[in-house]
Amino acid sequence: MNSQEYIEVCFTLTPYSEENAEILMAELGELPYESFVTDEPAPGEPTVLKGYIQKELYNARDLRVVLSGLSFDVAFQATLVIGENWNKGWEERFEPIVVDGKVTVKAPFNQNVRRTRFNIWIDPQMAFGTGYHHTTYMMMSQMLGIEDRIRGHKVVDMGCGTAVLAILAAKMGARKVTAIDIDLVAAKSAWGNARWNRVGTRIETCCGDASLLQMGSCDVLLANINRNILLQDLPTYYRSLRKGGTLLLSGFYDGDVPMLLEAATALGFRAAGQTTRDTWACLRLEK
């Protein structure tokens, strides 16, 4: 983030649930909101989801149209903030993440951090994921278990965000990695982080959705998005994978697993593994 002026919009969801929050964030990403945080509520107070959008891009009428199409009620309040103020606070709280003792994700201001086998430097931005979220952590853990399928092969990271998964794939020896995100700011962040980690020549970053995928073009596909998008794009993922390819999915709850497995097996995928972490789930599927 830079020092541009931003609008902070506080959303109160009724009823509030992690699933409803994920749906709202997915819808707001189209406007485009760049970042989201959830404040820990005081006892008896509702949970508030905060979204951030550049001042010149904020349009209350467009926001109301989006909210009117949701299946739950959302009230909002918008205020002006200076970008550098809230991002500085986030950066000051950022701590390194270590996955299975083999991967470390850290920011430039994290000094004297123990090195592991794979070390990833990122510019931490709230919008795009850093490894703090359980789903990102599980995706990295699952990737470590399929190193032989990644090394020397083609990998796609759908909804790449900061490109932490794409960077890990490149550091694990992937021949080529394509990192795709529908958010232009995320795609730019991915591009910068890939070069900062000295794997930019093996990572191609693109702004778009699953329609960018080509038939039979990859060996491993990583998709840490949300349940609804995954269900919608599963057929495209299947077509884009070569025979014997691996699909890693996360961004959903363990209660969503049966629905996703049913849709995946109907296409021809075979379930090859599942992990959970604090109600979140990660699936490994093979074609």
CA pair distance 265, 107, nearest whole angstrom: 39
pLDDT class for 74, splitting at 50, 70, 90?
very high
Which pLDDT band, with edges at 50, 70 and 90, does 134 fall under?
Answer: confident
When comparing pLDDT for 89 and 109, which is higher? 109
- Residue 127 pLDDT class (50, 70, 90 cuts): very low
- Residue carrying structure tokens 């926001």: 63
Cα–Cα distance between 189 and 125 in angstroms, integer?
9
Tell me the pLDDT of the chain averaged across its residues. 87
Residue 240: partners with Cβ closer than 8 Å, 6 or more residues away = 156, 210, 213, 214, 215, 216, 217, 218, 221
- Please check the confidence at residue 201 and state whether its pLDDT lies above 90: yes
pLDDT of residue 126: 43
Residue 82: CB atoms within 10 A of its CB come to 13
Set out the domains of the chain in order of their start, with CATH numbers. Answer: 5-90 (3.30.70.260), 129-286 (3.40.50.150)
Question: 39 has which bridge partners?
Answer: 48
Confidence of residue 226 (pLDDT cuts 50, 70, 90): confident
pLDDT at 22: 81
Strand partners, 12: 48, 75
Q: Is the pLDDT of residue 20 over 80?
A: yes
Provide, rounded to the nearest whole percent, the portion of the chain with pLDDT above 70.
Answer: 88
- Residue predicted with more confidence, 230 or 183: 230
d(CA 132, CA 128): 11
Distance between CA atoms of residues 109 and 177, nearest Å? 27
224 versus 127: the higher-pLDDT residue is: 224
- Reply yes or no on whether the pLDDT at 100 is more than 60: yes
**What b/e readout covers 7-18, taking b as 16+ CB neighbours within 10 angstroms?**
bbbebebeebee
Distance CA 70, CA 32 (A): 17
Q: What percent of the chain has pLDDT over 90?
A: 56
Model confidence, pTM: 0.72
- The winner for highest mean pLDDT among 15-24, 29-38, 85-94, 117-126 is 15-24
Is pLDDT above 50 for 128?
Answer: no
Averaged over 36-64, what is the pLDDT?
84
Q: What is the pLDDT of residues 137-156, one digit of tens each?
A: 999 999 999 999 999 999 99
Lowest-confidence pick of 12-16, 72-76, 107-111, 223-227: 107-111
The yes-or-no verdict on residue 132 having pLDDT over 90 is no
Q: What is the pLDDT of residues 259-268, one digit of tens each?
A: 999 999 999 9
At residue 64 the predicted structure's pLDDT band, cuts being 50, 70 and 90, is: very high
